[in-house]
Amino acid sequence: MKSMKFSFPLSVILSLFLAFSAFAQNNTFSDANAEYTFDLPAATWKMTVKPSPISPNVEYVFGDRRDGHLEIRKLNLKSGSLLSDLIRDEEEKLQFLKGYVAGKEEPFSGVLKGTVFNYEYVSSARNMSGRFYFLKADPSTVYVLRFTGMRDQLRSIRNQTDLIARTFEIKKAQ
């Protein structure tokens, strides 16, 4: 009887440890056709567009596209332009979405520094939102991580979108 009392708490602690370590594991995205890497915090993220020699674009969904969709694009920043100019250009394209409401811009820092732009819109009578991370790789290159999804769902996975953006980095030249 005494050994059962001891083994139960031990088994609970062991199972919590295993669950935490399984939860804490990240998958790292890396592909020969993409010049960057980043961590995916959950197995729920599934690649839908794989980079190729012709198109280095990558896309992921979080379970279902409406729950969370990620597009990664590389943009060139014109000489003498500011990051805020590039954000304004992207925002001009978004203004045609139904029910578009611009949100605030926030500074963002991870491996690369940049700015986050938030917005909301309506699609198929559902409240949607977007969270774009503009990450400056060098004076003329900006990567945009475009997250979109249903407003409440995207808000609930914000810690994951932040982690992906925080770990986004350019591969080292070999």
Output the CA–CA distances (angstroms, integers) from residue 13 to 24, 104, 173, in the order listed: 16, 43, 44
Residue 125, SS3? Answer: coil
Give CA–CA dist 134/87, Å, rounded. 8
The single-letter code of the amino acid at 128 is M
Residue 67, SS3? Answer: strand
Domains observed in the chain:
26-170 (3.40.1000.10)
Residue ranges in the chain modelled with pLDDT below 70 = 1-25, 174
At which residue do the structure tokens 């992207």 appear? Answer: 90
Q: What is the pTM of this model?
A: 0.83
pLDDT tens column, 121-131: 999 999 999 99
HSE at residue 110, side-chain half, CA atoms within 13 A, is: 23
